[in-house]
């Protein structure tokens, strides 16, 4: 008797916990697009169907356990088949499944809609950051985690958006259809923002498509969803959705910045300027693997501090940063960073942490290499 | 053979069959992809132009994206980033490879098409992606792509994106390619 | 033959009368059941694929 | 590989000859050597079970390292590199080292007893397939100490993370997986040969207990898919060491092909880990309900349907890799279809309980918990089958919750139920019921505390395989970690209970459980080393 009660209470408290936490925002977000809301309602429909089936099935089960226990004097019957009952419990689930499949198919077709988009964004996954390129707009940038290391290591209190903050969010317009082209430079990543209901693998050498039409301005956060190595947990996605006109002026601003930066290529940079800029770039891009103090993590990530081979061969250093090293996690940064950033970070690496080569790499030199 | 031996013999036969099947799946998958258009794979052989009337009532946007993979000091440039074509119309677009490094190198442009269903309706008559390229230090090479989107391209597809990613060809790879060709020969 | 198909169908559905099963296992040849089973599995695949293709239109 | 097996059986085994085990009556080696050289199915079964229990604890410790790191946000105990090795090793060890060998161990013990055979059909092969396992897993565990660490790419080892970007130890990982695979294949051949050839005279296939049936189908699944796994890891080996490009886009290969091949193996593998569990539960529920199993034939058919369908659903693991619409629909429909035979099984168990005369021994408690908790895993599986919704569920803790519900209170509870059920036959003593009940309730509470909150953290957006997480997932992770510790510690009660039972306890008669019907209950308890040297007189019970 007590046992059975415990069983029933156990099951009941599950359902109670389930519904109360669902109400408290621990559920899938309904999101801010048509598709995300459809997926949400699909999810809830199936969830409640499962709950109802569960109550009926477990109800019969617990009733039997309670009613037919031997301590209550139950004598066992001897039946072991009943064709009509079996037909019913095969056919009914089949019908329920058809009922689930119909709306699911409709939603899926809407997700695969390939109609013309207003904006194309190329999303490239890299260990362990995202690179965004607004196709045809001459705007592209890399977006990496901006949560400071000290918060991760517990030396500082964790901020509100711990692990979900980036240096440069992807900015998208509201009310326009944005098409994503996803690919990767190294391993498979998966770009995911729950509020947009977009999750798509980015696969090296191949291109995947997805799209979104955001309905409300705001900041939407997500993460890489496919295990991609050491810092899989540390490559968040942040999307900032702006009203159409705000977006247009943002894009124009970025385009102007890109042009300004391009013109900076021609002038002579001082060592201090390059070191300052290089430290920023290094912190945002290189420090996750090669460590903030350049000590690396052997054998995968070689140390840069005191790396004689690198310090003695300036050309090799430039080549590695520009073109990466095939068969290792070292990516090619030629198209992810601009010549100023490339020159600065190489100069920084050759002169920081006791590396006293005294070498200065000018943006114009990198530019020449890129254009050759 | 006693019955136990017979059973064992049959299961071992089935085992070896399944092991071979795993390897057979590799070319089968490629073939299946080309038939069904999964993954945006396009054939690695030139195809002829389908003789069909150009559908002037419809425009499709074709985008070209070029990328360089790891350890690849080359650049691939394209004449137009984007163009509008009619289904059925053969189109030529020029690409240029340039080797920015100080050494000669063999490379390959791996193609991918999005949306993947479009690859069924894409006929490449001439493409640099059919073979490997060898460039001397500082060399520049122009290579055209001639393609046609057939008229049966599904009406809901308005944009087709062709992506080419440059990868270096290592020695062991090119030797192996030579042996195993055409199954996994040069490019997809 | 029809008997075999009927029994295999019942098996796919997961429902079979004890009497019919006894009958099958006394009279049927296992080879025939396996062959029909494989064919039916292939038919099932094609059926689902056809539904999927139609639904995708 | 598969071509250099099997050693020819030296003995004629057939259903008509009896007492053919002459060599067994020679002077037997003693001590360690006895266990090393044994060809007795009961001793090998025991070895398998002890090995699997050991691996269960090693894999469990890895899981506890993972849960300890996830107890609160931030990096406290381990670095991400090591964390990834822990999640990977936990998965590999639990799947290939704990669950599969446990089922093979149970099959070794029980299949000959249930079909009335004197031993397995190929006793020496049996010895070999067991001893491959300790070698394989010692090698696998040793990779943790190698430079660059052990495998860190998840138990699904997706290329190119597991090829181009893998640690140098990956070649050893491949080798050990090959060995574990060969062991499973040999075990499967042996089980098939035993079931098809050594049944007691008069026992037709449709008279076999369901545990034997489910294992027969499982063994065929193993024969079909383990070679595929062997093929995939061989291709990986070639990509890593010989410059091929099966999965390397740079050489014209395709990383997605890896996933297709892996899941073509991987999905049937999931059923390999659950079908024998269905068999165990189908033996225990009728016993303690004192009523024949409802729908014996439909149980067999449902098992066969699940096995066939398992080959048609693999790409539901890949809904977000960019499949075309038709493929998404096809795999969504086939996956949903699997719910039908699975539902039939659950309904049959419940119909068996209906109008029974039920008692709640520990084995029954675990079997009942299996029915309920496995069904919960089934429900979340149904939700995951809905392709559009899977775009949100995929690779989150919702998936982790789902497959742990089918594997922990699913497969592992069924194994424990089987152990409690057959312990009297193995040891001649009843297990301590009081201790068993403590173990059961601690496990049930622990399991649910661990895995139920994962549904919510997953839905709220927590990706799987991360060593650190955003603050909104903190509460649920803390509960999960506490639950995991509780579940882990309560397994010590299990070990204590088993040891206690081996050493003594209430004496069990041949038919230890009132409602038990199958052949194993006709031999004395504990079962002597040699049973059914003369084939038993089998009288079919009407199922």
Give the domains, in start order, of chain D with CATH numbers.
32-522 (1.20.210.10)
Separation of alpha carbons B104 and B127, rounded Å = 22
Whether B77 is covered by a domain: the verdict is: yes
pLDDT of residue D364: 95
Q: Tell the burial category of B183 from Cβ atoms under 10 Å away from its Cβ (0-12, 13-18, 19+).
A: exposed
Residue A189 resides in a domain: yes
Structure tokens at B63: 């985008």
Q: What is the pLDDT of residues D109-126, one digit of tens each?
A: 999 999 999 999 999 999
Q: Is residue B37 very low, low, confident or very high in pLDDT (cuts 50, 70, 90)?
A: low
Same domain flag for A159 and A280: no
Mean per-residue pLDDT of chain B: 77
Candidates A207, A320, A328: best to mutate against B (most CBs of B within 10 A) is: A207
Nearest CB partner across the interface for A335, out of B68, B115, B167: B68
B117 at D interface, C-beta within 8 A = yes
Question: Is the pLDDT confidence value at D432 over 50?
Answer: yes
| B151 in the same domain as B70 | yes
Domain membership flag for residue B186: no
Tell which of A57, A92, A111 closes a domain.
A111
Long-range pairs of B50-58 with CB within 8 A, sequence gap ≥ 24: B50/B88, B50/B123, B50/B148, B50/B150, B52/B88, B52/B150, B52/B151, B53/B88, B53/B151, B54/B86, B54/B87, B54/B88, B54/B89, B55/B86, B55/B87, B55/B88, B55/B151, B56/B86, B58/B86, B58/B87, B58/B155
Per-residue pLDDT band for A115 (boundaries 50, 70, 90) equals: confident
In this complex, which of A43, A154, A199 lies closest to D74 when CB atoms are compared?
A: A154
Which residues, 6 or more positions from D17, have their beta carbon under 8 angstroms from its beta carbon?
none
A17 band by pLDDT with thresholds 50, 70 and 90: low
For residue B176, pLDDT over 50 is answered with no
D419 Cβ neighbours under 8 A, 6+ residues apart: D49, D498
Closest CA to B154 of D319, A113, A212: A113
Check which CATH number belongs to the domain holding A26 and give it: 1.10.287
Closest partner residue to B14 (CB to CB) among D223, D230, D231 is D223
Question: Which residue of chain B has the CA closest to D224?
Answer: B18
Are the beta carbons of B26 and D197 separated by less than 8 Å? no
The last residue of a domain, from among A262, A295, A312: A262
B12 with B65, same domain: the answer is no
Max Cα–Cα distance, chain C, nearest Å: 47
Indicate whether A223 and A275 sit together in one domain: no
Whether B186 has a pLDDT exceeding 60, the answer reads no
Contact A80 D358 (CB under 8 A): no
- Residue D196 sits at the chain A interface (C-beta within 8 Å): no
Q: Does B11 touch chain D (CB under 8 A)?
A: yes
Co-location of B66 and B156 in the same domain: yes
Full-model pTM = 0.86
- Give residue for tokens 């009942």: D368
Judged against a pLDDT cut of 80, whether residue D25 lies above it is answered with no
- C14 vs A contacts (CB less than 8 Å): 86, 90
pLDDT at A10: 57
**Token digits for A51?**
């709950």
Asked if B112 lies within 8 A of A325 by C-beta distance, the reply is: no
Q: Which residue of D lies nearest to A221 if distances are taken between CA atoms?
A: D461
pLDDT value of residue D21: 43
List pLDDT tens digits, range D208-256.
Answer: 999 999 999 999 999 999 999 999 999 999 988 888 888 888 877 889 9
Q: How far is CA B126 from the centre of its chain?
A: 12
Give pLDDT, residue B165. 86
Span A109-121, average pLDDT? 87
Decide: residue A230, CB within 10 A, 0-12 exposed, 13-18 middle, 19+ buried: buried
Instruction: Measure in Å the smallest separation between the Cα of D11 and chain B Cα atoms.
Output: 10
**Of B28-32, C8-12, D241-245, the least confident:** C8-12
Given CB atoms, is A205 within the 8 Å cutoff of chain B? yes
pLDDT tens-digit series, residues A185-219 = 889 999 999 999 999 999 998 888 899 999 999 99
What is the pLDDT averaged over residues D154-169?
90
Give the residue numbers of D marked as catalytic: 90, 119, 155, 183-184, 267, 269, 271, 282, 316-317, 342, 345, 464
Count of helix runs (H) and strand runs (E) in chain A: 11, 10
Tell me, yes or no, whether A107 and A139 share the same domain: no
Whether residues A26 and D147 touch (CB distance < 8 A) is answered with: no
For the domain that residue B170 is a member of, what is the CATH number?
A: 2.60.370.10
Number of domains in chain B: 2
Residue A178 placed within a domain: yes
Say how far apart CA D149 and CA D167 lie, in whole Å.
7
> pLDDT tens for residues A218-255?
999 999 999 999 999 999 999 999 999 999 999 999 88
D523 vs B74, higher pLDDT: D523
Range from A350-359, D61-70, D251-260 that averages highest in pLDDT: D61-70
Contact B101, B137 (CB under 8 A): yes
* B185 occurs within a structural domain: no
Residue B93 and residue B153 in one domain: yes
Dist. CA A355–CA D487, nearest whole Å: 52
In this structure, the answer to whether residues B22 and B53 fall within a common structural domain is no
Q: How far apart are CA B35 and CA B44, in angstroms?
A: 13
Residue B115, burial from CB neighbour count under 10 angstroms (0-12, 13-18, 19+): buried
B63 and B18 share one domain: no
The last residue of one of the domains, among A238, A262, A286, is A262
Pair B110, B145 in one domain: yes
Chains in contact with B, where contact requires at least 3 CB pairs less than 8 Å apart? A, D
Residue A66 has pLDDT above 50, yes or no: yes
Chosen from D324, D330, D340, D388 to mutate, greatest number of chain C CBs within 10 A: D330
A186/A205 same-domain check = yes
* B25 and B50 housed in the same domain: no
Q: Among partner residues A185, A206, A326, which is closest to B168 by beta-carbon distance?
A: A326
Pair D538, D202: CB distance under 8 Å? yes
Give yes or no: residues A104 and A123 share one domain.
Answer: no
| Tokens read off for D97 | 């080292």
Instruction: Tell me the torsion sign for CA atoms B86, B91, B94, B97.
Output: positive
B47 and B30 in a single domain? The answer is no
Mean pLDDT of B111-123: 82
Same-domain status, A139 and A91: no
A202: domain CATH number is 2.60.40.420
Set of chain D residues whose Cβ sits within 8 Å of the Cβ of B2: 12-14
> How high does pLDDT run on average in chain D?
90
Please indicate, yes or no, whether residues B60 and B89 belong to a single structural domain of this protein. Answer: yes
A101 and A167 assigned to the same domain: no
Residue D364 belongs to what H/E stretch?
A: helix D362-385
Q: How many distinct structural domains can be found in chain A?
A: 3
- A208 and A312 in a single domain? The answer is no
Comparing alpha-carbon positions, the chain A residue that sits nearest to D321 is A201
3-state helix, strand, coil in chain D (%, to 5): 70, 0, 30
Q: Which domain holds residue A128?
A: 119-262
- Residue predicted with more confidence, D138 or B132: D138
pLDDT reported for residue D49: 96
**Higher-confidence residue: D402 or A338?**
D402
Smallest CA–CA separation between B53 and chain A, in Å?
A: 24
Give the tens place of pLDDT for each residue, D83-111.
999 999 999 999 999 999 999 999 999 99
Write the pLDDT tens digit of every residue in B54-102. Answer: 778 888 888 888 888 777 778 888 888 888 888 888 888 888 888 877 7
Lowest mean pLDDT, pick from A248-257, B178-187, D435-444: B178-187
Q: What are the start-end ranges of the H helices in D143-274? A: 170-197, 210-241, 255-272
Nearest CA among D195, D159, D118, D83 for reference residue D321: D159
Check CB contact under 8 Å for A181 and B163: yes
Does residue B92 share a domain with residue B4?
A: no
d(CA D312, CA A77): 39
pLDDT at residue A139 is higher than 50: yes
Among A17-26, D360-369, D470-479, the range with the most confident prediction by mean pLDDT is D360-369
Task: Assess if residue B78 is contained within a domain.
Answer: yes
What pLDDT, in 10s, does the model give residues D440-482?
999 999 999 999 999 999 999 999 999 999 998 999 999 999 9
CB contact under 8 A, A74 and D325: no
- Which of A121-130, B141-150, D45-54 is predicted least confidently? B141-150
B187 falls within a domain: no
Residues B141 and B168 in one domain: yes
- Say what percent of chain D tops pLDDT 90: 74
D204·C25 Cβ contact <8 A: yes
CA–CA separation, D419 vs D365, rounded Å? Answer: 12
Higher pLDDT, D3 or A328: A328
Of C16, C49, C52, Cβ closest to residue D301:
C16
How, if at all, do strands B140-149 and B122-126 pair?
A: antiparallel
**Does the CB of B36 have a partner CB in chain D at under 8 Å?**
yes
Q: Is A209 on the interface with D (CB under 8 A)?
A: yes
Which of B41, B44, B159, B164 best tests the A interface by mutation, with the highest count of A CBs <10 A?
B159
A48 touches chain D (CB under 8 A): no
Confidence of residue A293 (pLDDT cuts 50, 70, 90): confident
Q: How many CB pairs under 8 A join A and B?
A: 99
Which ranges of chain A would DSSP assign to H, the alpha helix? 2-23, 34-67, 83-111, 149-152, 244-263, 271-281, 287-290, 308-312, 314-323, 339-351, 363-371
The reply to whether A231 and A351 lie within a common domain is no
- Give me the phi and psi of A274, to 5 degrees please: -65, -40
Cβ pair C14:D330 closer than 8 A:
no
Task: Identify all chain A residues contacting D340, using CB atoms and an 8 Å cutoff.
Answer: 90, 93-94, 97
A86/C15 touch (CB, cutoff 8 Å), yes or no: yes
Q: Please report which confidence band the pLDDT of residue A20 belongs to, taking 50, 70 and 90 as the band edges.
A: very low
Whether residues A213 and A273 share a domain: the answer is no
Interatomic CA distance for residues D432 and A216, integer angstroms: 62
Domain assignment present for A186: yes
Strands across the sheet containing A218-224: A170-173, A237-242, A218-224, A189-193, A198-202
In this predicted structure, the answer to whether residue D541 has a pLDDT above a threshold of 80 is no
The confidence band for A361, taking pLDDT boundaries of 50, 70 and 90, is confident
How many Cβ atoms are within 10 Å of D24's Cβ, its own excluded? 17
B44-50: average pLDDT: 69
Report if residue A77 sits inside a domain: no
Task: Check whether residue A21 and residue A52 sit in a common domain.
Answer: yes
Within 8 A of A207 by CB-CB distance, chain B residues are: 40, 65, 112-114, 161, 163
Average pLDDT of the residues in A11-22: 52
Asked if D543 lies within 8 A of C18 by C-beta distance, the reply is yes
| Cβ–Cβ gap B38/D225 under 8 Å | no
Closest among D238, D352, D275 to D103, alpha carbons compared: D275
Q: Are A181 and A93 contained in the same domain?
A: no
Nearest to D291 by CA among D359, D344, D341: D359
Q: In what order do the strands lie in the sheet with A139-143?
A: A139-143, A129-134, A119-126, A178-184, A208-212
Which has more confidence, A169 or D16? A169
Whether A172 has a pLDDT exceeding 70, the answer reads yes
The least confident of A66-70, B74-78, D359-363 is B74-78
Domain interval for residue B13 = 1-36
> Residue A274: its pLDDT value, please?
86
Neighbours of chain D (3+ CB pairs under 8 A): A, B, C
pLDDT, residue B55, reads 79
The pLDDT confidence band at residue A14, using thresholds 50, 70 and 90, is: low
Q: What is the mean pLDDT of residues D406-431?
A: 95
Task: List the strands of the sheet with B122-126, edge to edge.
Answer: B74-78, B91-99, B140-149, B122-126
State mean pLDDT over B154-167.
Answer: 85
Do residues A121 and A134 touch, judged by C-beta distance below 8 A? yes
Between positions 293 and 332 of D, the ones with CB within 8 A of A are 293-298, 320-322, 325, 328-329, 332
Q: pLDDT confidence of D26, banded at 50, 70, 90?
A: low
Q: How confident is the model at residue D24 (pLDDT cuts 50, 70, 90)?
A: very low
Q: Which residue of D has its CA nearest to C22?
A: D206
Q: Of the ranges A296-310, D298-312, D419-433, which is most confident? A: D419-433
- Would you state the structure tokens that stand for residue D345, as one six-digit string? 């099984």
Q: How far apart are CA D208 and CA D226, in angstroms?
A: 26
What are A259-290's pLDDT values in tens digits? 877 777 777 888 888 888 888 888 878 887 88
Q: What is the pLDDT of residue A312?
A: 84
């Amino acid at each position: 008797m007590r046992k059975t009660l415990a069983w029933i209470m156990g099951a009941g408290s599950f359902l109670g916990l389930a519904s109360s936490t669902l109400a408290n925002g621990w559920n899938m977000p309904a999101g801010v697009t048509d598709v995300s809301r459809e997926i949400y309602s699909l999810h809830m429909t199936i969830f409640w169907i499962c709950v109802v089936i569960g109550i009926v099935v477990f109800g019969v089960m617990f009733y039997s356990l309670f009613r037919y226990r031997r301590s209550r004097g139950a004598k066992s019957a001897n039946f072991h088949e009943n064709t009509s009952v079996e037909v019913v419990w095969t056919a009914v689930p089949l019908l329920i499944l058809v009922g689930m499949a119909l709306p699911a198919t409709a939603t899926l077709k809407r997700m695969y809609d390939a109609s013309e988009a207003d904006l194309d964004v190329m999303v490239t996954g890299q260990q362990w950051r995202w690179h965004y390129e607004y196709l045809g707009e001459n705007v592209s940038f890399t977006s990496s985690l901006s949560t400071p290391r000290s918060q991760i290591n517990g030396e500082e209190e964790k901020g509100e958006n711990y692990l979900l903050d980036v240096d440069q969010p992807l900015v998208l317009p509201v009310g326009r259809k944005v098409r994503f082209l996803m690919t990767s430079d190294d391993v498979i990543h998966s770009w995911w923002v729950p509020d947009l209901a977009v999750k798509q693998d980015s696969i090296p050498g191949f291109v995947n498509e997805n799209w979104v039409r955001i309905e409300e301005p705001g900041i939407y956060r997500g993460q890489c969803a496919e295990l991609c190595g050491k810092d899989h947990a540390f490559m968040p996605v942040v999307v900032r959705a702006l009203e159409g006109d705000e977006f247009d002026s943002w894009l124009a601003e970025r385009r102007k910045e890109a042009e300004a930066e391009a013109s900076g290529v021609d002038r002579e940079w001082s060592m201090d300027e390059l070191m300052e800029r290089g430290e920023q770039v290094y912190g945002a891009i290189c420090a996750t693997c090669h460590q903030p103090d350049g000590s690396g993590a052997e054998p995968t990530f070689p140390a840069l501090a005191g790396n004689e081979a690198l310090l003695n061969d300036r050309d090799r250093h430039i080549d590695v940063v520009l073109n990466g090293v095939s068969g290792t996690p070292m990516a090619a940064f030629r198209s992810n960073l601009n010549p100023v950033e490339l020159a600065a970070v190489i100069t920084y690496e050759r002169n920081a942490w006791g590396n006293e080569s005294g070498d200065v790499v000018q943006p114009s030199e990198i530019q020449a290499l890129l254009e050759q | 053979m006693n019955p136990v031996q017979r059973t064992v013999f049959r299961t071992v036969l089935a085992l070896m069959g399944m092991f071979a099947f795993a390897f057979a799946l590799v070319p089968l998958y490629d073939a299946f992809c080309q038939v069904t258009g999964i993954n945006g794979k396009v054939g690695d052989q030139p195809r002829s132009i389908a003789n069909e009337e150009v559908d002037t009532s419809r425009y499709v946007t074709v985008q070209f994206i070029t990328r360089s993979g790891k350890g690849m000091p080359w650049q691939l440039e394209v004449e137009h980033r984007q163009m509008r074509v009619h289904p059925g119309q053969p189109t030529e677009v020029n690409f240029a490879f340039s080797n920015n490094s100080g050494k000669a190198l063999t490379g390959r442009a791996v193609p991918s098409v999005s949306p993947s269903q479009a690859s069924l309706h894409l006929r490449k008559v001439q493409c640099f992606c059919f073979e490997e390229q060898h460039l001397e230090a500082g060399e520049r090479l122009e290579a055209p792509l001639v393609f046609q989107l057939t008229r049966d391209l599904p009406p809901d597809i308005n944009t087709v994106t062709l992506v080419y990613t440059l990868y270096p060809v290592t020695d062991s790879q090119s030797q192996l390619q030579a042996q195993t060709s055409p199954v996994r020969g040069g490019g997809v | 033959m029809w008997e075999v198909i009927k029994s295999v169908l019942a098996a796919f559905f997961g429902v079979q009368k004890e009497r019919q099963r006894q009958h099958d296992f006394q009279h049927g040849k296992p080879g025939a059941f396996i062959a029909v089973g494989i064919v039916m599995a292939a038919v099932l695949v094609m059926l689902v694929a056809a539904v999927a293709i139609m639904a995708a239109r | 590989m598969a071509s250099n097996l099997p050693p020819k059986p030296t003995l004629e085994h057939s259903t008509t000859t009896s007492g053919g085990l002459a060599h067994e009556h020679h002077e037997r080696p003693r001590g360690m050597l006895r266990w090393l050289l044994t060809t007795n199915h009961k001793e090998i079964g025991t070895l398998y079970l002890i090995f699997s229990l050991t691996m269960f604890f090693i894999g469990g410790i890895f899981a506890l390292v993972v849960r300890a790191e996830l107890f609160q946000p931030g990096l406290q105990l381990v670095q991400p590199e090591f964390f990834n090795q822990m999640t990977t090793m936990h998965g590999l060890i639990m799947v290939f080292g704990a669950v599969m060998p446990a089922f093979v161990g149970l099959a070794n013990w029980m299949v000959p007893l249930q079909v009335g055979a004197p031993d397995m059909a190929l006793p020496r092969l049996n010895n070999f397939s067991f001893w491959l396992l300790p070698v394989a897993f010692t090698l696998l565990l040793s990779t943790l100490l190698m430079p660059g660490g052990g495998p860190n790419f998840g138990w699904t080892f997706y290329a190119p993370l597991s090829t181009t970007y893998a640690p140098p130890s990956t070649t050893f990982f491949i080798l050990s997986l090959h060995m574990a695979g060969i062991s499973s294949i040999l075990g499967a051949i042996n089980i098939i040969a035993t079931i098809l050839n050594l049944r007691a005279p008069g026992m037709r296939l449709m008279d076999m207990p369901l545990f034997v049936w489910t294992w027969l189908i499982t063994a065929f699944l193993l024969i079909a898919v383990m070679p595929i796994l062997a093929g995939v890891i061989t291709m990986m080996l070639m990509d890593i060491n010989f410059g091929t490009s099966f999965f390397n886009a740079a050489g014209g290969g395709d990383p997605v092909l890896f996933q297709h091949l892996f899941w073509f193996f991987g999905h049937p593998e999931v059923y390999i880990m659950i079908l024998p569990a269905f068999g165990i539960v189908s033996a225990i529920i009728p016993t303690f309900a004192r009523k024949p199993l409802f729908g014996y034939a439909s149980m067999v058919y449902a098992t066969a349907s699940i096995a066939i369908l398992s080959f048609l659903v693999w790409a539901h693991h890949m809904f977000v890799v960019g499949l075309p619409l038709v493929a998404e629909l096809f795999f969504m429909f086939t996956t949903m279809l699997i719910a039908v035979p699975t539902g039939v099984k659950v309904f049959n168990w419940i119909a068996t309980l209906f109008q029974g005369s039920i008692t709640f021994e520990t084995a029954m408690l675990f079997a009942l918990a299996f029915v309920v908790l496995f069904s919960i895993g089934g429900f979340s599986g149904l939700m995951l089958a809905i392709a559009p919704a899977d775009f949100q569920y995929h690779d989150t803790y919702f998936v982790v919750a789902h497959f742990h519900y089918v594997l922990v209170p699913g497969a592992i509870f069924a194994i424990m139920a089987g152990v409690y059920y057959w312990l009297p036959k193995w040891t001649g003593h009843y297990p301590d019921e009081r201790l068993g009940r403590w173990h059961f309730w601690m496990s049930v509470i622990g399991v649910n505390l661990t895995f139920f909150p994962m549904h919510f953290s997953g839905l709220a957006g927590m990706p799987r395989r991360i060593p650190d997480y955003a603050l909104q997932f903190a509460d649920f992770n803390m509960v999960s970690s506490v639950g995991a510790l509780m579940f882990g510690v309560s397994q010590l009660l299990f070990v204590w209970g088993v040891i206690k039972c081996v050493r003594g306890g209430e004496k069990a008669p041949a038919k230890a459980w009132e409602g038990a019907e199958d052949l194993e209950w006709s031999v004395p308890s504990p079962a002597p080393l040699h049973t059914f040297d003369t084939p038993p007189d089998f009288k079919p019970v009407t199922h």
